[in-house]
Amino acid sequence: MQEAELHDLSDDPDYVASQQQGSGGSENQKCTRKSNGPTEPNGSEVVYSKDNVAIHPTQYASERISGRLQLIKRDLSLFMTWIPYKQSASYGVGQGSRVKLPEKDRNLYTIRAVPLTDVRSIRRHTPTLGWQYIIMVLTSGLAFPPLYFYNGGVREFLATLKQHVFLVRSADDANVFLVNDLQDPLQRSLSSLELPRAVPVANVASSSSSLASVHSDDNSNQRSNADYHDSSFSPTESVGRHRQKVRDPARDLSIQVLEKFSLVTKFARETTSHLLRESQIFDNIGGYEKQQQVHSSPVKNQVGGDPVSQELQDKNQIISDPLEKIACRNGKLCEAAATLVGTFELIDSKEAEQQSLVWGKPRLPPLGHEEWATFLDEEGRIVDSKALRKRIFYGGVEHGLRKEVWKFLLGYNEFHSTYAEREFLETMKRSEYETIKHQWQSISPAQARRFAKFKERKSLIEKDVVRTDRSIPFYDGDENPNVGLLRDILLTFSFYNFDLGYCQGMSDLLSPILFVMEDESEAFWCFVSLMERLGPNFNRDQNGMHSQLLALSKLVEFLDSPLHCYLRQADCLNFFFCFRWILIQFKREFVYEKTMRLWEVLWTHYLSEHFHLYMCVAILKKHRKKIIEERMDFDTLLKFINELSCHITLEATLKDAEALCIIAGENKAACIPPGTPPSLPVEGGLLE
């Protein structure tokens, strides 16, 4: 077959190149820890060197960039490099099917001295058929393209690594190795939590050698987020920049990174399946390994003239982000990635369940008074509402500020209104509230007897308010006046919107609002605003709920295909087990404070109006393994979901949901049809 020919290494230019540069061959991994190789004058020591480690920039096996993978020890730190071979003159000769790769592409993928402190985990793939490869995930969430070990030796690579860095096999997946070369166990565990302070200064400083690559872009973003960094984080400027580039989790870049992350994994999978197919063909004609041995050459440890630092000195060659380029090069692939489910299954399936921290931005502290003031001009207008919404999306609001801020988030106050306008509105609304309230207050007991609908409604409300959040001090105890306020507001609302009336669940939605507003009229109007968005949840025909459950099922299909398949097979695709989550915005799933935090995040509509649906996906995804392994049927699943109440970590889930939302990208529109609550049925874009 044509394809098989591609693997005849004797006329493989990559192979030839590797021969010319000396070494290549399966014996190479012998050079481990106490390397016989020379110690460079500047203190670098090559502790591992492996040739014919390749990257596939596309899914075609023919498009391969081969290079040398090395581990280099410098002072106390370990770095990994992967340098592609220089193109040989014979490249492409007589290879009609081969696509010529420009030199710059080779440089693009070059991995220049990544400190192992920046590597979060390594996933190895050692299939019985096809080539072994590893995927490295950095602490930033970024992942390098898969590195294919054409001569095998992933095991040896890991063994060598283990001698220098702290490598733990993930309890959850034997093929995932968590990397951490910190010596102090406390720091180790802090670092695994990804707290910036866990970076030991000494270690960082040691990387400020010629080995550290210099990146100068993206500084502006880092500045704006600098407030949230631990100051111990950037010991020296020059290093600090580089470190932030990779580690600084608060930078905007992570959004792109996530896209690329998913892209890479999808890409890896496609490539793998391609390679697998090709290697199967190959297997039939004699086996790849045997051929390899013929061409293996003796070990060579000598690193002539330190190619690493040489490369690094040539600044023109330095390209900041290999993945970025993949995204550009394969614009089409990008689209394809976005339309395929399971996009990021390869990496995330097991890992994300354990360490969702790889994803999303770290959460910020809640917005406080001082910072809030910076969003307002002298007359009280919010100058940049988008920035505000973004800020709140990532951190929420301090409780003391909620009363003020929620009114904006709910749309009761407009962002561009002035203090004076808001004050005026408040007065107007207060009297309007009294007017509506008076409508039902003026119904005499005698009249009520002939007003069944009113009586019924009143009794529904009364039944529910007495059992709403009574364990919260604000509502506890007999004859608590706040319970009476809940009743009055709900009854007034059922007159304000008589057609919608009262429905179970509404008291849950009102309770935190009254708690925050501590004012009957303001709580009422905020509730009205919320109902403008969530009213369809309570429609008699359940349309609002159905459309959201449908959107959820589409999102799961897109974002978590294994779960989707399972649910389809288990006949659970109606997603009714998520009914409560959606109906009352997770009110029953978190403790009071966390519910308020979640709500203000949802109400920003920052990444999506339907962020709550991504929350659903994130939680389901987290428990997918259990759901599938235990083969939960509808009943069991509903029970399981209900019992997750108060066992969901909000911040981690928000991060996951954020990542999922970004991954869904353009496909949101396809999954979530217009008009799905909380979108307003008519013209959208209300918050822009």
Partner 1 sequence: MATTGINYIPAKLVLLGEMGTGKSSLVLRFVKGQFFDYQESTIGAAFFTQTLAVNETTAKFEIWDTAGQERYHSLAPMYYRGAAAAIVVYDISNTDSFTRAKKWVEELRQHGNPNMVIALAGNKADLVDNKQVEAEVAQTYAQDNGLLFLETSAKTAQGVNELFLEIARRLPKANPTQPSRMIVVDRSSERLVSTSYYCC
Minimum CB distance to partner 1 smaller for 350 or for 580: 580
Minimum CB distance to partner 1 smaller for 87 or for 539: 539
Q: How far is the CB of 467 from partner 1 (least distance, A)?
A: 5
Q: How far is the CB of 640 from partner 1 (least distance, A)?
A: 9
- What is the C-alpha separation between 135 and 283, in angstroms, rounded? 24
Q: What angle do CA 226, 229, 231 make, to 5 degrees?
A: 100
Q: Is-cis flag, bond preceding 678, omega within 30?
A: yes
**Using CB under 8 A, which of 144, 148, 538, 606 touches partner 1?**
538
Residue 503 makes contact with partner 1 by CB under 8 A: yes
**Using CB under 8 A, which of 30, 277, 381, 588 touches partner 1?**
588
Q: What is the largest CA-CA distance in the chain?
A: 103
- What is the C-alpha separation between 68 and 62, in angstroms, rounded? 18
Minimum CB distance to partner 1 smaller for 428 or for 670: 670
User: Residue 120: which H helix or E strand, with range?
Assistant: strand 119-125
Start-to-end CA distance of the chain, whole Å, equals 57
Q: Burial level of 605, CB count in 10 A (0-12/13-18/19+)? A: buried
Minimum CB distance to partner 1 smaller for 565 or for 652: 565
Residue 505 makes contact with partner 1 by CB under 8 A: yes
Residue 642 makes contact with partner 1 by CB under 8 A: yes
Gyration radius from the chain CA atoms:
30
**Using CB under 8 A, which of 488, 508, 560, 658 touches partner 1?**
508
Q: How many CB atoms lie within 10 A of CB 541?
A: 8
**Using CB under 8 A, which of 266, 325, 389, 580 touches partner 1?**
580
Q: Which of residues 440-469 bind partner 1 (CB under 8 A)?
A: 456, 460, 463-464, 466-468
Q: How far is the CB of 571 from partner 1 (least distance, A)?
A: 5
**Using CB under 8 A, which of 370, 499, 571, 629 touches partner 1?**
571
Write phi, then psi, for 76 (nearest 5 degrees). Answer: -105, 5
Minimum CB distance to partner 1 smaller for 497 or for 504: 504
DSSP state letters, 149-209:
ETT--HHHHHHHHHHHSEEEE-SS-TTEEEEE--SSHHHHHHHHTT-GGGS-HHHHHHT-S
Minimum CB distance to partner 1 smaller for 397 or for 584: 584
Residue 497 makes contact with partner 1 by CB under 8 A: no
- What is the C-alpha separation between 522 and 517, in angstroms, rounded? 6
Residue 474 makes contact with partner 1 by CB under 8 A: no
**Using CB under 8 A, which of 162, 546, 594, 625 touches partner 1?**
546
Contacts of 415 (CB under 8 A, 6+ apart): 381, 382, 385, 388, 408
Residue 540 makes contact with partner 1 by CB under 8 A: yes
* Interface segment toward partner 1; rule CB under 8 A; list 29-37, 232-240, 356-364, 628-636: 628-636
Minimum CB distance to partner 1 smaller for 53 or for 551: 551
Residue 574 makes contact with partner 1 by CB under 8 A: yes
Residue 77 β-bridge partners? 74
DSSP state letters, 574-617:
T-GGGHHHHHTTTTTTS-HHHHHHHHHHHHTTSS-TTHHHHHHH
Q: How far is the CB of 385 from partner 1 (least distance, A)?
A: 32
Minimum CB distance to partner 1 smaller for 451 or for 576: 576
Residue 369 makes contact with partner 1 by CB under 8 A: no
Minimum CB distance to partner 1 smaller for 256 or for 561: 561
- What is the C-alpha separation between 182 and 179, in angstroms, rounded? 9
Residue 644 makes contact with partner 1 by CB under 8 A: no
DSSP state letters, 7-34:
T-GGG-HHHHHHHHTS--SGGGGG--SS
Minimum CB distance to partner 1 smaller for 571 or for 688: 571
Residue 537 makes contact with partner 1 by CB under 8 A: no
Q: Burial level of 296, CB count in 10 A (0-12/13-18/19+)? A: middle
Minimum CB distance to partner 1 smaller for 223 or for 463: 463
- What is the C-alpha separation between 402 and 430, in angstroms, rounded? 20
**Using CB under 8 A, which of 635, 669, 674, 684 touches partner 1?**
635
Amino acid at 243: R
Q: How far is the CB of 638 from partner 1 (least distance, A)?
A: 5
* Interface segment toward partner 1; rule CB under 8 A; list 21-29, 53-61, 370-378, 536-544: 536-544
Q: How far is the CB of 536 from partner 1 (least distance, A)?
A: 13
* Interface segment toward partner 1; rule CB under 8 A; list 84-92, 181-189, 278-286, 570-578: 570-578
Please say whether the beta carbons of 344 and 266 come within 8 A. Answer: yes
Residue 470 makes contact with partner 1 by CB under 8 A: yes
Q: How far is the CB of 580 from partner 1 (least distance, A)?
A: 4
**Using CB under 8 A, which of 316, 471, 499, 685 touches partner 1?**
471
DSSP 364: P
Report the interface residues with partner 1, using CB under 8 A: 456, 460, 463-464, 466-468, 470-471, 503-505, 507-508, 538, 540-542, 546, 550, 553, 568, 570-571, 573-574, 576, 579-580, 583-584, 588, 631, 633-636, 638-639, 642
